[in-house]
Structure 1
């Protein structure tokens, strides 16, 4: 397992699912990704080999479909919130206990999190069953680059190709990305997309369907691995599965 004990500013460090049917979500992700779901008294900690990877939280008022919230690490939550306000972002909830829920000017929601001694974020990344990547999908890529670049010390790298895509580097390594939505995304609200790695993408997609999921984007090959988009059942959110290249 690729264990993690710390994150650079701006790196995705945690993911949380708010859903109206947490029991169904636990059953689905346990069956698909092998998560061990542990009750925390009102929410569930999902683990792999005892290491935390994500949270599933019941919320009767959650959006339908539910959405994964990506947490972006910050060493100074107060400074990040000041930058959020100066850059015309929106504070939705918090701050409390190192956490704040926010939205960028396009409306894509994300969380700011200042890791503490009690909890630093996901304990394993980029391994089967764990989060490996996250990207914000927005209608105006340059505006998003300016906004997130004001919040975090990102180096923004435009990726050549027909799709307007940028990679955000932090701490000398790529940590997340930005995709500019085109006409194929008509009707889809701006959002953060979370990726979970699997050892065999085609087998994972088959398993997801057996568990009741839809697969709006079937497996396809990319320079970054073999990918698919899955919409989990019972009012669940959509996410990407990835088999890394190699």
Structure 2
């Protein structure tokens, strides 16, 4: 169930609350880091029908040139052991590691979080996650130990995609094949009416970079940016 005070938008958001709120993805915590917290919260509440966790983009990240972005965190049984594994496998931590949370960068450059203790924050409204990278094999080897993922079906086309068996996600080898793509995790929220949701993104000052289009796996998706440039995906609810 959504947290107290969350509002739903029947026009755009999926009616499947279980798909949004019961953590069907491997990532169980999502945080949008934005410049204008209030405006960003209003945009996603209208679009996805639930109020997300939004925080101010850290000054240190802004100084390094980081744009507004979504940060997804993986739940791990022991944070210290997971951080040690990140470093041993060629990744790095970004900033100080707290008792319960760390922000990390994988060997390809994509940023993600690690969380040990149950969070008091509501899980974000996402049902699918994709890693865009330049080396899918290296990325899978890195994350396999952290998240216990297993390889699923593979698809070849303009990009190489490897599904994550049972994890509601995929690793895509897009860098070098699609211009302007940097290593990143992309999270998809479900909507009942994808065409209407895409129109809302544009009307609100965002951008639709790809789609709507049907994927080889049968999902109909669109890849977007919010008005501040944070990337996210939309997926037609089943």
Query: Under a length normalisation based on structure 2, what TM-score does the superposition of the two structures give?
Result: 0.81
Q: How large is the RMSD of aligned CA atoms in angstroms?
A: 2.2
The residue that corresponds to 1:157 in the other structure is: 152
The residue that corresponds to 1:104 in the other structure is: 106
Residue 60 of structure 1: CA displacement? 6.1
2:21 matched to 1:26? no
Q: Which secondary structure state, in structure 2, belongs to the residue aligned with residue 95 of structure 1?
A: coil
Q: 1:71–1:112: 8 Å Cα contact kept in structure 2? A: yes
The residue that corresponds to 2:221 in the other structure is: 227
The residue that corresponds to 2:3 in the other structure is: none
Q: Which residues in structure 2 correspond to 1:91-130 (within 5 Å)?
A: 91-116=93-118, 119=120, 122=123, 130=125
Q: 1:157–1:167: 8 Å Cα contact kept in structure 2? A: yes
Q: 2:24–2:168: 8 Å Cα contact kept in structure 1? A: no
The residue that corresponds to 2:128 in the other structure is: 133
Separation in 1 of the partners of 2:218 and 2:98?
36
2:97 matched to 1:83? no
Residue 230 of structure 1: CA displacement? 1.1
Separation in 1 of the partners of 2:237 and 2:89?
35
Structure 2 residue ranges without an equivalent (≥5): 1-16
Q: 2:223–2:232: 8 Å Cα contact kept in structure 1? A: yes
Q: Which secondary structure state, in structure 2, belongs to the residue aligned with residue 115 of structure 1?
A: coil
Find 2:141's aligned residue among 138, 143, 146: 146
2:72 matched to 1:70? yes
Q: Which secondary structure state, in structure 2, belongs to the residue aligned with residue 35 of structure 1?
A: coil
The residue that corresponds to 2:164 in the other structure is: 168
Number of equivalenced pairs: 214
The residue that corresponds to 1:193 in the other structure is: 186
Q: 2:175–2:182: 8 Å Cα contact kept in structure 1? A: no
Structure 1 residue ranges without an equivalent (≥5): 37-45, 47-54
Q: Tell me the alpha carbon deviations over residues 75-118 of structure 1, each in whole angstroms, 9 at most, x when there is no partner.
A: 221221121111011011342241100000111000011132x6
Change (3 A) 1:187 1:7: closer
More strand by share: 1
Separation in 1 of the partners of 2:89 and 2:176?
27
The residue that corresponds to 1:40 in the other structure is: none
Query: Under a length normalisation based on structure 1, what TM-score does the superposition of the two structures give?
Result: 0.78
Separation in 2 of the partners of 1:187 and 1:71?
25
Separation in 1 of the partners of 2:220 and 2:202?
17
Residue 187 of structure 1: CA displacement? 3.0
